[in-house]
Chain A
Amino acid sequence: MIKARDITVHFGKRQILKEIDFIAKPGQVSSVVGPNGSGKTTLLRALTGEIACDGEIILNGRDLRQIPHWQLAGMRAVLPQSTALAFPFNVIEVIHLGLPDRRSYPLALEALSRVGLAGYEQRPYQELSGGEKQRVQLARVLAQITGPTDQAGPRWLFLDEPVSALDIGHQLQIMRLAREFADAGGGVVAIMHDLNLTAMFSDQITLLKDGAVLGTGRPEDTLTDSLLSRAYDCPLRVGFTPPQVPFVLPQSAGKGL
Chain B
Amino acid sequence: MVAMSEIGVNSPMDRPGDRSTRARLLGVCLAVLLALVVVFSLTTGASGINAVEVIAGWLRGEQMASRDVIILWQIRLPRTLTGIAVGASLAVSGALMQGLFRNPLADPGIIGVSAGAGLGAIGAIVLGGMLPVALRDAASIYLVPIAAFFGAWLSMLLLYRIATRQGRTSVAMMLLAGIALAALAGAFSGMMIFIADDAQLRDLTFWGLGSLGGATWPKVATAYVIMTPALICALFLTRGLNGLALGEAGAFHIGIPVQRVKILAILCVGAATGAAVAVSGGIGFVGIVVPHLLRLMSGPDHRFLIPNAALLGASLLLIADVIARVIMAPAELPIGIITAVLGGPFFLWILLRQRGVLDM
Contacts and interface: CB of A to CB of B under 8 A. Distances in A.
A236 interface: no
A102 B18 contact: yes
B295 A87 contact: yes
B252 A88 contact: no
B250 A80 contact: yes
A50 B19 contact: no
Interface string B1-38: 00000000010000111111000000000000000000
Contacts of A86: 98, 102-104, 245, 357
Interface residues of B, number: 29
B300 A97 contact: no
Given A88-B295, A89-B299, A89-B300, A50 B16 contact: no
A105 interface: yes
Contact of A97 (B102, B242, B257, B299): B242
B253 interface: yes
Nearest to B251: A97
Given A85-B245, A97-B243, A102 B20 contact: yes
B250 A73 contact: no
Given A69-B255, A90-B299, A105 B247 contact: no
Interface residues of A, number: 31
B189 to A, nearest CB: 31
Contacts of A189: none
B239 to A, nearest CB: 9
Nearest to A103: B10
A158 to B, nearest CB: 8
A91 B299 CA distance: 12
B332 interface: no
Nearest to A68: B255
Contact of B16 (A70, A76, A92): A92
Given A86-B104, A92-B17, A105-B15, 20 more contacts: A50-B249, A69-B256, A70-B255, A71-B255, A73-B254, A80-B247, A85-B246, A86-B245, A87-B104, A87-B245, A89-B245, A91-B17, A92-B16, A93-B300, A93-B301, A97-B242, A97-B243, A97-B245, A102-B18, A122-B17
28 contacts: A50-B253, A69-B252, A69-B255, A70-B255, A72-B255, A73-B254, A73-B255, A78-B250, A78-B253, A85-B245, A85-B246, A86-B103, A86-B104, A87-B102, A87-B104, A89-B299, A90-B17, A91-B17, A92-B17, A93-B19, A93-B299, A93-B300, A97-B242, A97-B243, A97-B245, A97-B246, A105-B10, A121-B16
Interface of A: 45, 48-50, 69-74, 76-78, 80, 83, 85-93, 97-98, 102, 105, 121-122, 144
Interface of B: 10, 15-20, 98, 102-104, 242-243, 245-247, 249-250, 252-257, 295, 299-301, 357
